[in-house]
Each structure stands twice: as C-alpha cells, then as structure tokens.
Amino acid sequence: MTEMDISRWALRLEYDGTGFVGWQKQQDGVSIQSLIEAAASRLVGNRPVSSITAGRTDAGVHASGMVIHIDFPGDAKINGRQIRDGMGYYLKPHRVVVLEAAQVSLDWSARFSAIWRSYQFKILNRQARPALQETHVWHVKRVLDVDLMQEGANYLLGSHDFTSFRAIACQARSAVRTLDVLTIHREGELVIVNTKARSFLHHQVRNMVGSLVMVGSRQWPPEKMREVLEARNRCAAGPTSPPDGLCLTGVGYPEDPFA
C-alpha cells in the first residue's frame, strides 16, 4: 500500500503471554502479533494489515500496557470504538485485549516514537507453590531481603554497559543503556520489581532480577552488582529469571496518542 492508501492507528494492548511464542510471528506456535493482525484483517473484510510493536515480548511474558501501531487500508470506515470492540470480538477466546485505539499520523511509530518503556516483575516469596498466580510470578522459597536488593539495584541505575545482563543472542549494536528506575518493594508475600528505561536489551530485566535475587537471598553482597556490571560478561551475572513474572506495563511518548 502507498501512503495515500494507509490509515495508521495506535493501539494499547493487554495480554496474558502464557502459552504463546511471544509477540513476534514465528513459523511454529501462536504469537500475539499473528492474532492481532488476523483480527484486524477480519475487521476490514480480510484485507492485509501490518503491525509494529513498541517492544517484542518473549514467550510467557505478559503485557498490561503494550503499544503497537497498525496500518489499515485508507478507505476502511472504522473508528476507535469499532477497532477496540471489533478486534476484541475476533480475538476471543484468547487472553488478548485491545484497550484503546487512536488514529495517528503516518510518521508516528509505536517503536521509534517511544521515549520510555516500563516493566514489572513479580516474585512470590513463600514456601508454598503458587496456585492462583502460577503463570504470573517467579516462585522463590528462600526469604528475600528487599532492602539488600534495593541496595544492589542502585548500582545499576544510570548509563552503563549492560553486557553482563544481555542475552547471548541479543542483536543490539550497543550494550549501553540508561536505567532510569529500578525499585524493589514487598507487598505481603510478593516482591515487586519496577524498572523503566528508554529501551532494554534482550533479557536485560530478567537477568537483572536473577542477580538481584542472589543478593536478596544473601548469596551475594549488594556491592557484587557493581562487580558484575563492570565485568561486562554474561557469565558473571546470576541466572535468567523465568518469563512468568515479567509484564510490560507501559510505553511513553512525547505526546500521548490516547489522551
């Protein structure tokens, strides 16, 4: 389609990543992207549509505030309510929901216009395994000291080379990232990690959490986080935490397209 033939819409999504291969379309397994594009296509008479996301989530990772944009045919007579409700209907019974839709200019990009992304990671810190939250938490039995975790987290704030916390398969050209927020607090049996940055490396959040659990369980002192960071070696960091506890909670833009 040419630019004259396109109507671009920003969508805010919520989804449960359990059982999916992640956001991106793949040859095997069901992806969030394939479901979204299929639902959008049905909304406009099964014509082709394309989507771009603010950030690709891995298999098992959830989202409560993912933002994408979709290019619909320019002559499609649709509005935000019809996109939200119509796609919501076609997405059933999958746990994928369109929360909002807003028309944007063709130079707006869900990915490249974004100025920050935020994630939350939940750890269930108790002896008994989870029942109700099984696919939405990392179950850690050892008692975690959140004050020690926060002390360790503070070493990661600011701009650093995060090579020690990136996946070996990460394709980013540079490992330098600026971490604006990394806070840890406890709510009863839950230990909650919140983080925010312009962008993250592949597995960066899950690898940081894995190392912080080493600190919280007193296997590492908090200052070990500085050593790990300075090592610039993935082998120096802790284990990769499972995807279940991770949720993309928001994406920010200079001007909120949904305001």
Catalytic pick among 5, 16, 28, 58: 58
**pLDDT tens, 197-228?**
999 999 999 999 999 999 999 999 999 999 99
pLDDT (0 to 100) of residue 243 = 97
pLDDT (0 to 100) of residue 27 = 87
Q: What is the largest CA-CA distance in the chain?
A: 61
Residue 1 predicted with pLDDT over 80: no
Q: What value does the mean pLDDT take over residues 117-128?
A: 98
In angstroms, the first-to-last Cα distance of the chain is 28
Q: Is residue 12 within 8 Å of 36, Cβ to Cβ?
A: no
Binding residues: 119
pLDDT (0 to 100) of residue 31 = 97
Residue 41 predicted with pLDDT over 80: yes
As a whole number, the mean pLDDT across the chain is 96
**pLDDT tens, 26-38?**
989 999 999 999 9
Binding residues for substrate: 119
**pLDDT tens, 140-165?**
999 999 999 999 999 999 999 999 99
- Verify whether residue 145 is a known catalytic residue: no
**pLDDT tens, 238-253?**
999 999 999 999 999 9
Task: Name which of 77, 97, 54, 64 is nearest 199 in CA terms.
Answer: 54
- In the chain, the domains with their CATH numbers are 3-113 (3.30.70.580), 116-250 (3.30.70.660)
Q: Would the CA dihedral through 104, 110, 115, 118 be positive or negative?
A: positive
In Å, what is the CA distance from 23 to each residue of 37, 57, 237? 11, 5, 26
**pLDDT tens, 63-114?**
999 999 999 999 999 999 999 999 999 999 999 999 999 999 999 999 999 9
> pTM, whole model, 2 decimals?
0.95
145 C-beta neighbours (distance < 10 Å), count: 16
Residue 168 predicted with pLDDT over 70: yes
pLDDT (0 to 100) of residue 37 = 98
pLDDT (0 to 100) of residue 4 = 65
% of the chain surpassing 90 pLDDT: 95
